[in-house]
Amino acid sequence: MSTLPSKRVASYHEQYVIPGLNEIVNEKHTMARAAFMEWIYAGKPRQGPEFIAMQKKTRSAFKLSLRYCRQHEQEIAAEHLAKICQINILINFGLLFVSVISKSSVNADVINGHTGDTAISEMWKNHYQAL
């Protein structure tokens, strides 16, 4: 009895996740889609400016950028992770800075020779009553 080889089964949508798709390909896809719709509205001609714009310019640019993303998946994903780490480091530094500032900015201990909260408050009370 032979066993079937195990195969990693990915989810349906996981197969189509391509790093860099939004950053690199999205604009070219929008242009290719617009040119395609113009080609449709023109009656799907096999020659002429609509066909050239749809087939040879925008569609080929879209396919070329998509191919670039597929060939450089690991590099694009690594750059994306580096950006996320850099943002997280800046956010964590900001939180650390705020916590250090809030800890170091305590009220003054001595004002005009008066120490302690009650003595300082009594000093200010007497000062403002004298006005």
Close Cβ partners of 123 (under 8 Å, ≥ 6 residues apart): 111, 112, 114
pTM to 2 decimal places: 0.54
The whole-number pLDDT of residue 87 equals: 78
Higher-pLDDT residue of 110, 5: 110
Look up residue 15 and give its DSSP letter. Answer: G
Which amino acid does the sequence have at 69? C
Whole-angstrom distance, CA of residue 51 vs CA of residue 39: 6
Do the beta carbons of residue 18 and residue 66 sit within 8 Å? yes
**Tokens representing 16?**
């189509």
Residue 25 has pLDDT above 80, yes or no: yes
More confident residue, 15 or 20: 20
Instruction: Write out pLDDT tens, residues 80-101.
Output: 888 887 877 777 777 766 666 6
